[in-house]
Structure 1
Amino acid sequence: MENMGEVEKFADSESFKICVSVMEETVEKSLKFVKDVHDKVYSKNVPHMYEFRLDYLNKSELSIENIEKILKCDCEKIITVRWDWEGGKWNNEKESVLGSLGILKRAIDFNVEYIDIEHKNLERVKEELKNYRDTKGSTTKIIVSYHDFMKTDAFSVIRGIIEEEYKYGDIAKIATAICQNRENCNILRACSWYKPKIIAIGMGELGKITRVHGPQFGSMITFCTVSKEKASAPGQLHIDDLVEIWERFYR
């Protein structure tokens, strides 16, 4: 791609990162996915990091030994175990094999860069993870995330949710469905209000503008896909499309 100097500078910014989700059914496929993305020639130095959606792993893959293979993966990472009631694949059947809390604690032991837990989780669960991290002296940052796949609330409501997330998290994440264009303003306002410790995303076709311009307003991570068939959320852009848009806007 020509005239990429300014875009590469923008993409290399330390104020935000481009993240790709790994949603494979086995540990072997997960690690291969990361290697394949590294081997493919995307735009310079992107993606910066990977979100490992461990809730996608088959029940037969759930062992501490297997999980540790992912925790040792040589890349910047978010470890997530998203429950089915928050749009994920984790359920009580999987929990009976290897508890989600145990997985996240092991990630803390390994000092992974980030773990992601749901805002709607029990208060005692969030408090236990925060206390465990602090007691261990781990460098892991805790993302507390909130999802609403139906609507985007008024900014006053969004602000209240974010303030609650900071009780247990270092970083607040909010991802909500955009039903009207003006609702994007609530998401971008949250980015600006709480930067640099905020991830704010508008989901769906109308919310794509927040994925493109959210980092300029203060969102520290924007999520992309390398396969449009495997987007982790509605409205997620292909990484090449995002960089092409940046090239047009910011060259």
Structure 2
Amino acid sequence: MICIPIVDNNIDDALKNAEKALKEADIVEFRVDMLDDVNESAIEEMVKYPCIITVRADWEGGFWKKSNDERINLIKKAIECNAKFVDIELKEEKNKELVKFRDEIGSKTKIIISYHDFEKTPSCEELIKIVEEELKIGDIAKFAVMAKSKEDVLKVLNVINKYNGKIIGIAMGEEGKLTRILGVHFGSILTFASMEGKASAPGQIDVKKLKEIWKLIL
């Protein structure tokens, strides 16, 4: 499965580009934290598309600088509206509360619990510990770490392989590009690809180029 991040700063462009992206990808990720102005009615429009709703906090490398309560309310709205996925940080203190909320209202939303390290790739043991912790909370574990070597790439692919179908694993940066190409082959449920040069993280490959590579090697 290919996911294209939607990184526009206004809702009209975001929805327009989501439609365009879904001609190439299976799903889009709305980076709600990148929007200049967002409210619950905007979330209602977004969830009409197959999507991940992400309101990434600034303390996790995102752009959300308003109150955390407002951020949580937007995530709750996405859950109420049965968004396909919502992404909630492992470090978010209310992540278990949000899962409980989902269960109590009978929402069909799948919850991704995510971890990011923009400096390095932790050891396999550390990554496994992170993934185990995430899977105790949500439906899908996600980690995105910074690769500095081929060894880092191997660590990521090994961990993805261990949790086939329950994980999204990515190594960011130029060294990590192989994980974006091979990750789904090893068990990652999706990979993120860019569209028209708009990327949400370093190392994302253009969606058309990614498909060409897959045709050749997979």
TMscore range, shorter length: over 0.9
TM-score by structure 2 length? 0.96
User: How does 1:1-251 map onto structure 2 within 5 Å?
Assistant: 17-38=1-22, 46-58=24-36, 61-71=37-47, 73=48, 75-91=49-65, 94-95=66-67, 99-122=70-93, 125-228=94-197, 230-250=198-218
| SS of equivalent to 2:9 | coil
User: Tell me, which stretches of 5 or more residues in structure 2 are unaligned?
Assistant: none
Q: Deviations over 1:167-220 (max 9, x none)?
A: 211000011000111111110011110111100011111101111011111000
User: Tell me, which stretches of 5 or more residues in structure 1 are unaligned?
Assistant: 1-16, 40-45
Which residue identity is paired with 1:82?
Answer: R
Contact kept in structure 1, 2:4 and 2:21, CA below 8 Å? no
Contact kept in structure 1, 2:32 and 2:38, CA below 8 Å? no
Which structure exhibits the higher relative contact order, with contacts defined as CA atoms closer than 8 Å and separated by 6 or more residues?
1
Runs of 4+ in structure 1 over 6 Å off: none
d(CA) in 2 for partners of 1:147, 1:83 = 11
| SS of equivalent to 2:141 | strand
Farther off after superposition, 240-249 or 211-220: 240-249
Contact kept in structure 2, 1:27 and 1:67, CA below 8 Å? no
Shift in Å at residue 38 of structure 1?
A: 4.5
Contact kept in structure 1, 2:168 and 2:188, CA below 8 Å? yes
Which residue identity is paired with 2:67?
Answer: E
CA RMSD of aligned residues (A): 1.4
Which residue identity is paired with 1:85?
Answer: W
